[in-house]
Amino acid sequence: MKMTISKLDAAKRQLETAVRLYFSEADPVSIHTLIGAAHTLFADISRQENAPRMLLKDELLDQIKPEYHAKFRKMVNRAQNFFKHADQDARETLDFDPGQSELLLIDCCRQYYRLAGEYPVLCQVYQAWFFMNNQDLFSPALKNQIDRLGNPIPDMLAIGRKRFFEFALSRMADLG
């Protein structure tokens, strides 16, 4: 059966699947490949629709000297390109940091909201996890977004990704 699907819906599906894979602690290469594809779609859609720009592909570029733009783009896209192309470097290896996927995930969640005007539950859960794990990076105002989940478990981070995901989804369902 054929499906009619928009680029935005394709990117949302890739994003939500990457979030599910992330919380199930699935293969980091697969997660990165999937979220990298979504990130590229969101960036392309944003440019074509004159929407707010992506953080990793656009906004940070404004802080980089012009002569280093190509180098910065290559750094951001290196793992994604490595995982999908072998036309010139079939025997190469890569020292991959799966933490790169976490940055792409948060950027995609943010951009989907900006493009679609809705914030999927899976993105809300991922954002809460991301902020809880990186509290030292963010202002107190951003920490307030986590409050929607409550904190009946004293140390949410200690329960691990899988259990946090199950708990957060159930709390989101309770909140309506």
Q: Go through the chain and tell me how many residues it has.
A: 176
Q: What is the pLDDT of residue 135?
A: 73
Specify the amino acid at residue 110: R
DSSP 52: P
Reported as a single tens digit per residue, the pLDDT across 7-38 is 999 999 999 999 999 999 999 999 999 999 99
Q: What is the pLDDT of residue 5?
A: 97
Q: Is the dihedral of CA 46, 47, 51, 56 positive or negative?
A: positive
Q: What is the pLDDT of residue 24?
A: 97
Q: What is the pLDDT of residue 65?
A: 84
Q: What is the pLDDT of residue 57?
A: 66
Structure-block tokens of residue 89: 């470097």
Q: Is the dihedral of CA 108, 50, 37, 15 positive or negative?
A: positive
- In contact, 15 and 112? CB cutoff 8 Å: yes
* Stretches in the chain below the pLDDT threshold 50: 152-154
Q: Which residues make Cβ contacts (< 8 Å) with residue 135, sequence separation at least 6?
A: 143
Q: What is the pLDDT of residue 153?
A: 44
Rounded-to-integer distance, Cα 156 and Cα 164, Å = 7
- CA distances from residue 101 to 4, 39, 76, 161 in whole angstroms, order as listed: 28, 10, 10, 15
- In contact, 43 and 54? CB cutoff 8 Å: yes
